Amino acid sequence: MLFTVSRTRRLLQCVSRLLQCRYIQKGHTQTNGGLKKAISAFTSLCGEDGVSTGETVREQHGRDESVHRCRPPDVVVFPRCVEEVSALAKICYRHNLPIIPFGTGTGLEGGVGALKGGVCFSLRKMDQVLDVHQEDFDVTVEPGVTRKALNSYLRDTGLWFPVDPGADASLCGMAATSASGTNAVHYGTMRENVLNLEVVLADGSVVHTAGKGRRPRKSAAGYNLTNLFVGSEGTLGIITKATLRLYGIPEAVVSAVCSFPSVQAAVDSTVHVLQAGVPIARIEFLDDVMVDACNKFNSLSYPVTPTLFLEFHGTEDSLDEQVRTTEEITSANGGADFQWARDEGTRARLWKARHDAWYAALALRPGCKAYATDVCVPLSRLPHIIVETKEDLIQNGLTGPIAGHVGDGNFHCIMVLDPDDSDEVQRVHQFTERLARRALALEGTCTGEHGVGLGKRALLREEMGPGAMGVMQSLKESLDPKNLMNPGKVL
C-alpha cells in the first residue's frame, strides 16, 4: 500500500477525532428526533468543515443529472476515511437517520434524492488511488476517485480501466449502479470488473466482500457478496473502497463509421461481427434523427440514416484484419460509406458525432432538458423495438433521438422536453413506460446500465415478478432491518 504524506496525515486526523468522540459509541439508542444531537456528534467527529447544513450544499447533494426533482438531505457529511464513515453510520443507526451515499451526482435515475430526509455521505474527500499492482492487473481506489482521475493516474503504467459510462463518475458510484457504457461489449460492465469491495453496512460495521485485502482474479469462496453490492445503489451499504481489474492499454486503436439502409441492416452487421469473433471494443448505433442532430450540431455531413460507430483495440496487424472483416460484413449487409481512421485526430473527428450526441440532442430544442431512457433487449429484438419506438415517438410528437450500445442490445432515447410543459412531461413519462414494457415483452430489461433508483421501481416489479422481488426484499431486510440505507430506492 502506498502511504503518501497527505494520506498519513489524514489517517492521523481521523484517529484523533475518533479518540475524541469515543463517547459517541457508548450513547444509547434514540428512536426519533435525534437529528440535532446527531449533527453535533458529526461535527465532533469530522470538524466544522466536514459537516454542512447549508441550503446550497444540501441542494447540490439532493439531485443527480436526472429530471427527478431535488430532494435535499437534512445534512451533508464529508468523511475522510472508512473509520469516519463507520463512526458516522453508527450515529445514524442510533438515531434512525437515513443514509444516502453520494459520489459525483452523475446518476440518471434519482438515486441520491433524500426521499425521507437524512444524512448525505459525500465521499469526495476520500480520493486516493491506494494500490496499483501492475503485474496483477488490479488497483484499489477510494470512493472519491473518478474513472478519468484513475486513468490519468495510471497513464505511465501501460494499464487502464476501460468501463466508460460517459460521465466522469466515481468508480465506487459506478460499482453501486452497475454502470457500463460504450465498451462493455468487449471489457464487460462493473459486474465483471470489481474484484473486492469495502462496504460500511447500515449499523456501521465494515465488511470486505471478498475478504480484507484479497484480490485473486477468480474465486469460488462462498457467496458472491461483491456482486450483491455491485448494483445495489446504496441500499445495502456504503462502498468505501473498490478493487478493480485493469487492462493493458491497446497498442493501437482504429475508429470507423458506417451508414446503413435500415435498423435491421445495422443490427445484422453487429450480430455477424460478433459471430465472426471480431473482438470489437465499441459498436455504437445512432438512428437517423440522432445523426441529423449531430450533423447540425457539429456541421457534419453523415448520411441521415441508421449509422454504426465502431472502435477496434489491438495490435497494428490485428487491427488491419478486424477492420477488413468488419468492412466486408457491413458491406454484405448494405452498409455504405465505411470510413476508418487510425491517427488520434482523425479518429476524434470521426467519432465526434457520437461523443456529442447528448448535446446535439439538446440543441434540437434550446432551453429544454434531456432525459435518457435505458432499455436492453436480446440483440435479435433490437430492430423490432427500435422501429416500434420510432413510430411511437412520431405518433406522440416527442423528440427522442436514439443512441445505443448495440453490441449489448442496450439503447437510449434521449428525450428532449420542456420541463415546464406538464402535458409534455406526462407524455414523455407515458412513452418511457411504454418503451420499458416493450422491452419487457421482448425478454429484455427496463434498465441496462442506469439502474432503478427512484424512477423504475414499479417497472422493476413487473420485470422481476413477485418471486425475485420477494428475494430482493428479504436480502434488504436481512442487511438493513431498519431500512436506513438509501430508503425508497430500488425496492
Footprint (CB under 8 A) of a second copy, residues 48-67: none
The one among 117, 211, 334, 419 contacting a second copy by CB under 8 A: 211
Residue 328 vs 392, nearer CB to a second copy: 328
Residue 374 sits at the vertex; the CA angle it makes with 334 and 271, to the nearest 5 degrees, is: 30
Please, which contacts does 4-7 make with residues 24 or more away whose CB atoms are closer than 8 Å? 4/128, 7/128
Tell me if residue 61 falls in helix, strand or coil: coil
Phi/psi at 320 (nearest 5 deg)?
A: -55, -45
Residue 27 DSSP class: P
CB 114 within 8 A of CB 489: no
Residue 222 vs 397, nearer CB to a second copy: 222
Residue 179 vs 362, nearer CB to a second copy: 179
| Subset of residues 261 to 320 that bind a second copy, contact rule: CB under 8 A | 271, 274-277, 279, 313-315, 317-318
89/121 Cα distance (integer angstroms)? 9
The one among 8, 33, 69, 251 contacting a second copy by CB under 8 A: 251
Phi/psi at 252 (nearest 5 deg)?
A: -145, 155
Residue 300 vs 379, nearer CB to a second copy: 379
- 155 binding a second copy? (CB under 8 A): no
- 210 binding a second copy? (CB under 8 A): yes
Residue 106 vs 177, nearer CB to a second copy: 177
CA 132 remoteness from chain centre: 23
Query: Which residues are CB-contacts of 8 (< 8 A; sequence separation ≥ 6)?
Result: none
487/97 Cα distance (integer angstroms)? 10
Instruction: Give the binding-site size for a second copy (rule: CB under 8 A).
Output: 99
Residue 111 to residues 61, 197, 203, 450: CA-CA distances in angstroms? 11, 20, 21, 10
Work out how close the CB of 443 gets to a second copy at its nearest, in angstroms, rounded to a whole number. 5
Give me 338's grid cell. 465505411
The one among 44, 224, 262, 396 contacting a second copy by CB under 8 A: 224
| Subset of residues 328 to 387 that bind a second copy, contact rule: CB under 8 A | 374, 376-381
- 191 binding a second copy? (CB under 8 A): yes
The one among 88, 230, 364, 386 contacting a second copy by CB under 8 A: 230
338/258 Cα distance (integer angstroms)? 4
| Subset of residues 420 to 449 that bind a second copy, contact rule: CB under 8 A | 440, 443-449
- 156 binding a second copy? (CB under 8 A): no
Residue 223 sits at the vertex; the CA angle it makes with 217 and 226, to the nearest 5 degrees, is: 55
- 135 binding a second copy? (CB under 8 A): yes
Residue 44 vs 151, nearer CB to a second copy: 151
Work out how close the CB of 258 gets to a second copy at its nearest, in angstroms, rounded to a whole number. 19
Residue 104 vs 270, nearer CB to a second copy: 270
182 burial via Cβ count (<10 Å: 0-12, 13-18, 19+): buried
Q: Which stretch binds a second copy (CB under 8 A): 9-17, 75-83, 418-426, 456-464?
A: 456-464
Work out how close the CB of 117 gets to a second copy at its nearest, in angstroms, rounded to a whole number. 24
Please, which contacts does 8-11 make with residues 24 or more away whose CB atoms are closer than 8 Å? 10/80, 10/81, 11/81
Residue 146 vs 209, nearer CB to a second copy: 209
The one among 355, 356, 475, 482 contacting a second copy by CB under 8 A: 475
The one among 18, 60, 117, 137 contacting a second copy by CB under 8 A: 137
Work out how close the CB of 146 gets to a second copy at its nearest, in angstroms, rounded to a whole number. 19
Residue 352 vs 461, nearer CB to a second copy: 461
| Subset of residues 69 to 98 that bind a second copy, contact rule: CB under 8 A | none
The one among 136, 327, 388, 392 contacting a second copy by CB under 8 A: 136
Instruction: Convert residues 165-184 into a mask of x (bound to a second copy by CB under 8 A) and - (unbound).
Output: ------------xxxx---x
Q: How many CB atoms lie within 10 A of CB 146?
A: 22
Residue 89 vs 201, nearer CB to a second copy: 201
Work out how close the CB of 396 gets to a second copy at its nearest, in angstroms, rounded to a whole number. 25
| Subset of residues 8 to 47 that bind a second copy, contact rule: CB under 8 A | none
240/206 Cα distance (integer angstroms)? 9
Q: At what angle do helices 457-479 and 422-441 cross, to 10 degrees?
A: 70
Give me 209's grid cell. 466482500
Tell me if residue 259 falls in helix, strand or coil: strand
Work out how close the CB of 136 gets to a second copy at its nearest, in angstroms, rounded to a whole number. 4
